Chain A
Amino acid sequence: MHQPLAKRIWDAIAEPFDGWLMAFLGGVFMLSLLVLYSASNQSWYKIDNKLVYTLLSLVVMWVLAKARPQAVMNFAPPLYAVGVLLLIGVELFGVIVNGSQRWLSLGIVRIQPSEIMKIALPMMLAWYFQKYETTLNWRHYIVAALLIAVPGVLVLKQPDLGTAVLIMGAGFFVLFFAGLSWKVIIGGLVAFAASLPVVWNMMHDYQRRRVLTLLDPMQDPLGDGYHIIQSMIAIGSGGPWGKGWLNGSQTHLDYIPERTTDFIFAVYSEEFGLLGNLTLLVLYLCIISRGMLITARAQTLYGRLLAGAITLSFFVYAFVNMGMVAGILPVVGVPLPFMSYGGTATVSLAVALGMLMSIGNRKR
């Protein structure tokens, strides 16, 4: 009697989840627990916290995976509108943390509206293209571009270059899959390259320093280049096989900044070496591949556009984070998906992946 009941409950829980994705995510999650334990100097406190928000993420993911994409789709315009309003709120009443205004204080909680935008913008665009699927013309691309530009500029003004790029990137991916002309794409790239000097002039000093430091961290090894050099040393000294779990000297002697969050990959890399890095890359590649497959099989235009944008965004987060830690991209505050410690980022990723699963659950 018990067996069938347990099985029924299990089936009910497992039913909306995508098996493959869950397997790959489970792999990443196991690794992340190991690294977090080491990076937090074997503190159970952070592990406990992580388990709690992971559970919360699973619930959120389950709900969204269970929901019909079409039902969730209808929330896109209000969510986008709220997101933009909150961004304007940040502009007007935001709290300044570390020199930039990203947070909005709502009594007891402080929220970061740019985080909402990361998912709200691609949803909005996908909804928009779906709505005008049959009558799509160049005017719609102009509107879409505006839909991207509004939150993009607002976040840029905070100033948070990294997040702005990520948000606009997510929007661009939707346009890309919606069939934005190659001429426009290439023209845009050329225009972007041409505008670099202008952008340089508009950049804040700290942003310029980051760019300069990226080009040559050794220019200022004890100042701006310090973190990147230390994290490169951590990765490099990990060697092919790593120094072993809990044995990273760079990690445990405090040389790695933000080692449980943005720079957790350096810790992982030092202790698990090239072998560990390739393992993680493969896991991420599997997740991305699965996302691509779901995108390819998506039933509706909304589904494809959103699934494609989510998958590409997921890739971009992973790539930008690892690239930053490995010293080939500038230091921008992007967490490594499902590895970095932090509830907000994990839950919002769970939202995105829940939607991805929901789309995947309605194959053609």
Chain B
Amino acid sequence: MSRHARLKDPQSEESQFQLRLLIAFGFMVLMLLLLAARFVWLQVLQYDHFSTLAQNNSISLVPVQPNRGLILDRNGIVLAQNHAAYTLELIPDKIADLDATVKALGTLVEITPRDERRFRKFLAESKEFEPVPLKLKLKEDEAARLAANIWRYPGVEVRAWLFRDYPYKELTSHVLGYIGRINQNDQKRMEEDGTLANYRGATHIGKLGLEATYETELHGQNGFEEVETDAGGRAVRSLRRTPPVHGNNLQLALDIRMQEIADKLFGMRRGALVAINPQTGGVLAFVSKPGFDPNLFIDGIDAATWKNLNDDWQKPLVNRALRGLYPPGSTFKPFFAMAGLEAGALNPNELRPAPGYFTLPGSSHQFRDSVPSGHGMVNLAKAIAVSSDTYFYRLAWEMGIDRIHPLVAQFGLGSKTGIDLDSEASGVLPSKEWKAKRFAKARPEVGRWYPADVVSVGIGQGFNAYTPLQMANATAILANDGKVFKPHLVQKIVDARSNKEKLIDPQPLRALAFKPQHFATVKEGMRAVLQPGGTAFRISGGLTYSMAGKTGTAQVVQIKQGAKYNAGALAEQYRDHSWFISFAPVEHPTIAIAVIVENAGFGATSAAPIARAVTDFALTGKVPAELEGQLLTMPATKKPDQGARDASAAR
């Protein structure tokens, strides 16, 4: 009520109003001072802090990718290269409606179902803020069309990348392998070995073959660019740049032309060929048939294509040269002969009977010779030349596995050669220990070594199983009189910056302690293989250099006692494998070869001509007449006449 009275009193009302005005004004001034204090705190006291934050905000380190090193053959022909192309990429967390965007982009460039499948796959594997490629290797006009319209689609980018390309496709698949997108396993592995930092921003890594073995050399060192970025993370301008160190180039010992000749000579047949220079261990040709197009794997192979490759009965994805295990058949004999000579179990000049079959004392089981009538009386060289089985059955029986194993093992058979490719198979050179271990889980009588087991080992059957690479390596060791080199595909590593070359050391790993005359004896026998009466005489026509070899036929199925091998009656997969090992020139070998043609029967008919033609090319430069003009690596026909006759004779 007093308030009521006061309100009606103009005087007190006036003064009360002025008081409130003053209070309001004071309040406002106080509040503005509070704001001013806040500004002082932010802009003076905390200036350093916020200034740093602002800089961190806007300056980020962007990794700059080094260019991956090239891979060249021994003559400088490029086998793996990089070319720049544009990629259409989407950043999922910046796109509201992914499906609609993909659809809209489909009106600008063609997006195939394969592109889309791959995109979905990548999408599932990557983080929200990472760009996911939708279409790779845009054509010029596609890139231009996208660039003009890109502003309409936030979160869509067209970026230039270097793409890996293997121009010789199938020809190099089992040598170079391929690079592929970095997956979670790669990431985990890199995290463990501390290389992840060098792969920031990288998308690919070597997965297989030389691309994997020499990953560190090929990849190089990441560079960094300090860029100012806006809130959307887009680089606005570059402030500083630490250039990347590009990957080193690899120069191979391999001759791509020789590789192609060998590859073409296989035709549609399956098999493998490895050619090694015995003087250095350099791998001149490394063929596994069939191959596959490594380019398919670089940016993720789609499921359907992969399934086709993986389910193909010809197993194109299997590296036969490196991992294919085959019984060596008669190509085992020269190494076995070396063991017999060194062990003193054999007098090379002694004439021994080589009948049509061999039986163990007290047994009626016949170990048959491939020639039912036998070869009469033969010395060692003749036994090798005619490939007498009974001669070597007897030797095996006389020596026993315990004496055979350590001597043959010195040729690297049954162990990894150490070539510069991953996941090499070690093969099997049988021994008692090996058999016990192999059948450790079976009944004891299965794992026991029986005296008869050794007999078939003597002719390269039984438990023997080697890779074509091992056979080529063993041949090279034999050819080189026991000097052992580590087989290697890469000859030189060429520094990207200085162009300095780092050689792969051709120093011999070791020398075998076999007596020199034993090498001479066995090589004489192998030489006789290509001479009249030898099993591969038919490929010797027109030889302008000296060549030594050994044929082999590896059984795929056991033939019943008394039955006859009849190739025609067997389905192709069960036919014998055709082997041939060789080296030339005999006096100073520069090429040693092992060839296997799967299910192709007798070694002299299928495998040997390929070895001859490849050796011809290596030593004389002659290209088989039937391949003239068909080779990618030699488009221009250089020598039309020379040696045409020889080549046809060789086939």
Residue numbers of A with Cβ under 8 A of B are: 134, 136-138, 173, 176-177, 179, 181, 230, 232-240, 249-250, 252-255, 269, 273-274, 277-278, 281, 284-285, 288-289, 292, 295-296, 304, 308, 312, 315, 319, 322-323, 326-328
B242 CB within 8 Å of chain A:
no
Per the 8 Å Cβ criterion, residues 1-45 of B in contact with A are 3-4, 7-8, 13, 16-18, 20-21, 24-25, 28-29, 31-32, 34-36, 38-40, 42-44
Known: A236-B54, A254-B231, A312-B28. 16 other contacts (CB 8 A): A176-B20, A179-B17, A233-B50, A235-B42, A235-B50, A236-B43, A237-B50, A253-B231, A255-B230, A273-B43, A274-B44, A285-B28, A304-B17, A308-B24, A315-B31, A323-B38
Question: Considering the complex of A and B, which 4 residue pairs feature the smallest CB-CB distances, nearest first?
Answer: A236-B50, A237-B54, A253-B230, A254-B231
Most-contacted residue by chain A among B21, B43, B47, B49 (CB, 10 A): B43
Structural contact, A137 and B32, CB atoms closer than 8 A:
no
26 A/B residue pairs, CB under 8 Å, sorted by A: A134-B8, A173-B24, A179-B13, A181-B3, A232-B42, A235-B43, A236-B46, A237-B51, A238-B43, A239-B44, A250-B57, A250-B58, A253-B58, A253-B236, A254-B231, A254-B232, A274-B44, A285-B29, A288-B25, A288-B28, A289-B25, A295-B21, A323-B38, A326-B35, A326-B39, A326-B42
Structural contact, A240 and B44, CB atoms closer than 8 A:
yes
Q: Which residues of the other chain, A, contact B36 by a CB distance below 8 angstroms? A: 277-278, 281
Residue numbers of B with Cβ under 8 A of A are: 3-4, 7-8, 13, 16-18, 20-21, 24-25, 28-29, 31-32, 34-36, 38-40, 42-44, 46-47, 49-51, 53-55, 57-58, 228-232, 236
Structural contact, B32 and A281, CB atoms closer than 8 A:
yes
Alpha-carbon distance A312/B16, docked complex (angstroms): 18
Structural contact, A269 and B50, CB atoms closer than 8 A:
no
Alpha-carbon distance A285/B230, docked complex (angstroms): 36
Structural contact, A328 and B38, CB atoms closer than 8 A:
yes
User: How close is A317's CB to chain B, nearest CB, in angstroms?
Assistant: 12
Q: Which residues of the other chain, A, contact B16 by a CB distance below 8 angstroms? A: 179
Alpha-carbon distance A250/B58, docked complex (angstroms): 8
User: How close is A29's CB to chain B, nearest CB, in angstroms?
Assistant: 20
Structural contact, A136 and B7, CB atoms closer than 8 A:
yes
Query: In this complex, what residue of A is CB-closest to B28?
Result: A315
Most-contacted residue by chain A among B28, B32, B34, B231 (CB, 10 A): B28
Q: Which residues of the other chain, B, contact A315 by a CB distance below 8 angstroms? A: 28, 31
User: How close is B529's CB to chain A, nearest CB, in angstroms?
Assistant: 76
Q: A284-B32, A295-B21 are in contact. Are A278 and B39 (CB under 8 A)?
A: yes
Q: Which residues of the other chain, B, contact A285 by a CB distance below 8 angstroms? A: 28-29, 32
Alpha-carbon distance A258/B631, docked complex (angstroms): 66
Q: A176-B20, A179-B17 are in contact. Are A233 and B35 (CB under 8 A)?
A: no
Structural contact, A237 and B47, CB atoms closer than 8 A:
yes
User: How close is A236's CB to chain B, nearest CB, in angstroms?
Assistant: 3
Alpha-carbon distance A137/B25, docked complex (angstroms): 26
Most-contacted residue by chain B among A136, A236, A277 (CB, 10 A): A236
Q: Which residues of the other chain, A, contact B8 by a CB distance below 8 angstroms? A: 134, 136
Alpha-carbon distance A289/B8, docked complex (angstroms): 28
Structural contact, A274 and B51, CB atoms closer than 8 A:
no
Alpha-carbon distance A17/B306, docked complex (angstroms): 82
Q: Which residues of the other chain, A, contact B236 by a CB distance below 8 angstroms? A: 253
Q: Which of B25, B40, B44 interacts with A292 by CB under 8 Å?
A: B25
Q: Which residues of the other chain, B, contact A250 by a CB distance below 8 angstroms? A: 54, 57-58
Q: Which of A177, A230, A237, A274 interacts with B20 by CB under 8 Å?
A: A177
Structural contact, A274 and B39, CB atoms closer than 8 A:
yes
Q: Which residues of the other chain, A, contact B28 by a CB distance below 8 angstroms? A: 285, 288, 312, 315, 319
User: How close is B41's CB to chain A, nearest CB, in angstroms?
Assistant: 9
Q: Which residues of the other chain, A, contact B51 by a CB distance below 8 angstroms? A: 236-237, 239
Query: In this complex, what residue of B is CB-closest to A237?
Result: B54
Structural contact, B53 and A237, CB atoms closer than 8 A:
yes
Structural contact, B58 and A277, CB atoms closer than 8 A:
no
Query: In this complex, what residue of B is CB-closest to A322?
Result: B35
Structural contact, B38 and A326, CB atoms closer than 8 A:
yes
User: How close is A130's CB to chain B, nearest CB, in angstroms?
Assistant: 13
Query: In this complex, what residue of A is CB-closest to B42?
Result: A236
Q: A239-B43, A315-B31 are in contact. Are A233 and B21 (CB under 8 A)?
A: no
Q: Which residues of the other chain, A, contact B29 by a CB distance below 8 angstroms? A: 285
Alpha-carbon distance A296/B55, docked complex (angstroms): 49
Structural contact, B50 and A232, CB atoms closer than 8 A:
yes
User: How close is A296's CB to chain B, nearest CB, in angstroms?
Assistant: 6
Q: Which residues of the other chain, B, contact A134 by a CB distance below 8 angstroms? A: 8
Structural contact, A249 and B50, CB atoms closer than 8 A:
no
Query: In this complex, what residue of B is CB-closest to A241?
Result: B43
